[in-house]
């Protein structure tokens, strides 16, 4: 080392790099903290077939809708093969890992559809699942129930009960959904259950008075997080709260952060006609907190400010 070379200027870049590293790390933690919630969604994807999803505009929108969700419960998947879902997964996989679980084709006539869960396999796993044994044939498409792990110490798992009712039997099916709740919560000893999907629980399919006399309304402990009056339909000419999320269980409700419809036409600036090529429904979504973990946000801001001031 040549003599007389000042030591100080050599040390500044090192300190600078170290501090910059700290800032980047803090920002990363902040970003991760910002997406801390776990999002569960349900979407009636209106007769989803391979022919439909290979249209680029439909596929782009669907992928963006799916990418918002840690677990998505798709309804009206009309495909006897796996190809529609595999195609979507292939488009989704680019940065994150996804997996899926589908029911068999369900329905009383030649028209049949599946329930399909698409989920972030790096964040959650399927613990178990079954097709509800609908011995009295109450449901046109009996719930395909699944239990998922959650990245939360407060609530390590949650049961999902999807239902797409048939419009002419809404009241009967929704009352029977209470029996499905009893069946699954006993079977898996888990009272943290989320019932979700296109219940057709409004407008011509279910009068307000009938809605309020449903077992899932009169029994204690069920929390309808998509409120009545929220429009879940794409058409400007309709205003119905068809799609719903109903939560049961203390653990679930403690973690509830937000619930809303996702107005994808507005978010992606689609005309009604463009949106209808994807679906006539909005997705409904619920966000669960993972609860207190790691450093509280105000400590992070302090850390960040400190790092920034050190840089100056
Ligand atoms: C998923 O779909 C495939 C193809 O239709 C079917 O063979 C399989 O049984 C389905 N899975 C379940 C759990 O029903
Ligand atoms: C469904 O329930 C009926 C009547 O209780 C029973 O006979 C049948 O074995 C059950 N099926 C399954 C798959 O559990
Ligand atoms: C739908 O109707 C409800 C009242 O039932 C109203 O509060 C809401 O603003 C309406 N939404 C739209 C999009 O028109």
Q: Which burial class, exposed, middle or buried, applies to 264 when counting CB atoms under 10 A from its CB (0-12, 13-18, 19+)?
A: buried
Supply the residues annotated as catalytic.
113, 164
Q: How many domains does the chain have?
A: 1
pLDDT for 195-226, tens place per residue? 999 999 999 999 988 999 999 999 999 999 99
> Residue 17 has what pLDDT?
59
First to last CA, the chain: 29
Span 255-271, mean pLDDT? 98
Is the model's pLDDT at 87 over the cut of 90? yes
Counting from 1 in the atom list of ligand 3, the atom nearest the Cα of 239 is 1
In a domain, residue 235? The reply is yes
Sign, CA torsion 198/201/206/211:
positive
> Residue 290 has what pLDDT?
85
Task: Provide the strand spans (E) within the chain.
Answer: 38-48, 71-77, 98-102, 114-120, 126-131, 144-149, 157-162, 193-198, 222-224, 243-248, 256-261, 284-288
> Residue 95 has what pLDDT?
74
pLDDT for 14-68, tens place per residue? 656 566 665 555 455 444 444 579 999 999 999 999 999 999 999 999 999 999 9
Span 247-274, mean pLDDT? 97
In a domain, residue 15? The reply is no
Residue nearest ligand 3's atom 8 by CA: 229
Q: Please name the helix (run of DSSP H) or strand (run of DSSP E) that holds residue 18, with its range, or none.
A: helix 8-34
Q: Please name the helix (run of DSSP H) or strand (run of DSSP E) that holds residue 90, with its range, or none.
A: helix 83-92
pLDDT for 118-158, tens place per residue? 999 999 999 999 999 999 999 999 999 999 999 998 899 99
Residue nearest ligand 2's atom 6 by CA: 135
Q: How confident is the model at residue 309 (pLDDT cuts 50, 70, 90)?
A: low
For ligand 2, whether the C-beta of 80 sits within 6 Å is no
For ligand 1, whether the C-beta of 109 sits within 6 Å is no
In this structure, of 91-95, 155-159, 279-283, the range with the lowest mean pLDDT score is 91-95
pLDDT for 158-175, tens place per residue? 999 999 999 999 999 999
For ligand 2, whether the C-beta of 95 sits within 6 Å is no
In this structure, of 2-6, 203-207, 242-246, the range with the lowest mean pLDDT score is 2-6
Span 1-9, mean pLDDT? 49
> Residue 36 has what pLDDT?
79
Give the three-state DSSP class for 196: strand
> Residue 13 has what pLDDT?
56
**Cα 114 to ligand 2 centroid, rounded to whole Å:** 21
Task: Report how many helices (DSSP H) and strands (DSSP E) the chain contains, helices first.
Answer: 11, 12
Mean pLDDT rounded to a whole number for the chain: 88
In a domain, residue 23? The reply is no
For ligand 2, whether the C-beta of 309 sits within 6 Å is no
Q: Residue 261 sits in which domain range?
A: 38-288
For residue 209 the two structure tokens come to: 């008075």
> Residue 1 has what pLDDT?
47
Span 288-293, mean pLDDT? 70
Q: How confident is the model at residue 306 (pLDDT cuts 50, 70, 90)?
A: low
- The set of residues, in sequence order, having a beta carbon less than 8 Å from that of 242 and lying 6+ positions away, is 44, 198, 199, 200, 201, 202, 203, 205, 232, 233, 281
CA angle 78, 82, 84 (to 5 degrees): 60
For ligand 2, whether the C-beta of 136 sits within 6 Å is no
> Residue 247 has what pLDDT?
98
Q: Which of 239, 4, 283 is closest to 118 using CA atoms?
A: 283
In a domain, residue 260? The reply is yes
* Residue of 104, 145, 162 with the most ligand 1 atoms within 8 Å of its CB, for mutation: 104
Ligand nearest to the CA of 266: 3
> Residue 307 has what pLDDT?
54
Ligand nearest to the CA of 115: 1
Counting from 1 in the atom list of ligand 1, the atom nearest the Cα of 102 is 1
In a domain, residue 51? The reply is yes
Is the model's pLDDT at 11 over the cut of 70? no
DSSP state of 160: E
Place of tokens 């920002």: 27
Percent of the chain with pLDDT over 70: 82
78 vs 303, higher pLDDT: 78
In a domain, residue 61? The reply is yes
- What CATH number does residue 120 fall under? 3.60.10.10
In a domain, residue 299? The reply is no
Give the three-state DSSP class for 67: helix
> Residue 16 has what pLDDT?
60
For ligand 3, whether the C-beta of 236 sits within 6 Å is no
In a domain, residue 14? The reply is no
pTM: 0.84
The span from the CA of 206 to the CA of 213, in Å, is 11
> Residue 18 has what pLDDT?
61
**Cα 238 to ligand 3 centroid, rounded to whole Å:** 10
For ligand 2, whether the C-beta of 135 sits within 6 Å is yes
> Residue 295 has what pLDDT?
43
Give the three-state DSSP class for 39: strand
């Amino acid at each position: 080392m040549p003599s007389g070379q000042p030591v100080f200027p050599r040390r500044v870049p090192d300190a600078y790099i170290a501090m910059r590293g700290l800032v980047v790390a803090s920002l990363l933690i902040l970003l991760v903290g910002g997406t801390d919630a776990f999002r569960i969604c349900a979407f009636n994807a209106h007769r989803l077939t391979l022919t439909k999803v290979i249209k680029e505009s439909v596929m782009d929108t669907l992928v963006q809708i799916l990418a918002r969700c840690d677990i998505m419960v798709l309804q009206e998947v009309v495909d006897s093969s796996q190809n529609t879902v595999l195609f979507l997964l292939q488009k989704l996989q680019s940065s994150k890992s996804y997996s899926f679980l589908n029911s068999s084709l369900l329905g009383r006539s030649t028209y049949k559809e599946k329930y399909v869960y698409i989920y972030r396999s790096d964040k959650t796993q399927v613990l178990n699942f079954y097709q509800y044994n609908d011995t009295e044939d109450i449901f046109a498409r009996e719930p395909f129930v699944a239990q998922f792990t959650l990245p939360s110490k407060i609530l390590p798992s949650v049961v999902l009960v999807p239902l797409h009712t048939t419009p002419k039997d809404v009241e009967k099916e929704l009352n029977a959904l209470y029996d499905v709740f009893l069946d699954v919560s006993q079977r898996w000893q888990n009272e943290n259950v989320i019932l979700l999907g296109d219940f057709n629980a409004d407008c011509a399919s279910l009068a307000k008075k009938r809605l309020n006399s449903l077992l899932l309304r009169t029994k204690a402990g069920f929390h309808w997080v998509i409120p009545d009056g929220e429009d879940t339909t794409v058409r400007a000419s309709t205003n119905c709260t068809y799609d719903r999320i109903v939560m049961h269980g203390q653990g679930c409700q403690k973690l509830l952060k937000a619930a809303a419809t996702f107005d994808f036409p507005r978010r992606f600036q689609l005309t009604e006609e463009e949106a209808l090529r994807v679906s006539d429904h909005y997705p409904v979504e619920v966000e669960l907190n993972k609860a207190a973990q790691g450093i509280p946000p105000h400590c992070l801001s302090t850390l960040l400010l400190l790092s920034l001031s050190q840089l100056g």
